[in-house]
């Protein structure tokens, strides 16, 4: 676990003005860390889905944080909130960062994101254009 990255992430979450809200209460440190490293290596993992009327991130909280932390431009595509997405929404600064668990490692669907093999197998798909 990279303690410098944890400090950098926490300072970013707490001290920056975030223009969007979330309904997600937790994010995973290791997922953000992997996305952050990879985007700094020139990769991109898709736009973030946002309900623009509510300024609410619908899909892509980890990407939103990692892209913003890496200070790269990223796309936001329109989406609509779910019926269960009720205000008041959470501010990004109030998200809890799970430093204990690797959500990808513990999920059979996303475990493939723990290594860079998925990128190497389809590099054109993930290269930032």
pLDDT digits (tens, 9 = 90+) for 7-46: 999 999 999 999 999 999 999 999 999 999 999 999 999 9
Q: Which two tokens stand for residue 60?
A: 């892509």
pLDDT tens for each residue of 105-114? 989 999 999 9
Concatenating the DSSP letter of every residue in 39-102 gives HHTTB---PEEEETTTTEEEE-HHHHHHHHHHT----EEE----TT--SSPEEGGGPEEE-S--
pLDDT higher than 80, residue 54: yes
pTM: 0.94
29-40 and 3-15 helices, crossing angle to 10°:
90
Q: What is the pLDDT of residue 84?
A: 81
How far apart CA 89 and CA 79 sit, in angstroms, is 16
Q: What is the pLDDT of residue 75?
A: 97
Q: What is the pLDDT of residue 86?
A: 81
CA dihedral 60, 64, 66, 70 (to 10 degrees): 150
Q: What is the pLDDT of residue 102?
A: 97
Q: What is the pLDDT of residue 41?
A: 97
**Dihedral sign, Cα of residue 63, residue 68, residue 72, residue 75:** positive
pLDDT tens for each residue of 59-96? 999 999 999 999 999 999 999 998 888 888 999 999 99
pLDDT higher than 70, residue 1: no
């Amino acid at each position: 676990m990279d303690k410098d990255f944890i400090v950098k992430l926490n300072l970013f979450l707490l001290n920056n003005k975030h223009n969007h809200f979330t309904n997600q209460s937790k994010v995973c440190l290791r997922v953000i860390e992997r996305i952050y490293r990879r985007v700094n290596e020139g990769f991109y993992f898709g736009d973030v889905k946002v309900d623009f009327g509510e300024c609410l991130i619908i899909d892509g909280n980890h990407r939103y944080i990692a892209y913003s932390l890496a200070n790269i431009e990223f796309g936001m595509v329109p989406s609509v909130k779910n019926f269960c997405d009720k205000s008041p929404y959470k501010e990004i600064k109030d998200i809890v960062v799970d430093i204990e668990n690797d959500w990808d490692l513990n999920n059979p669907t996303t475990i493939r994101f723990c290594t860079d093999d998925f990128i190497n197998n389809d590099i054109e798909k993930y290269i930032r254009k």
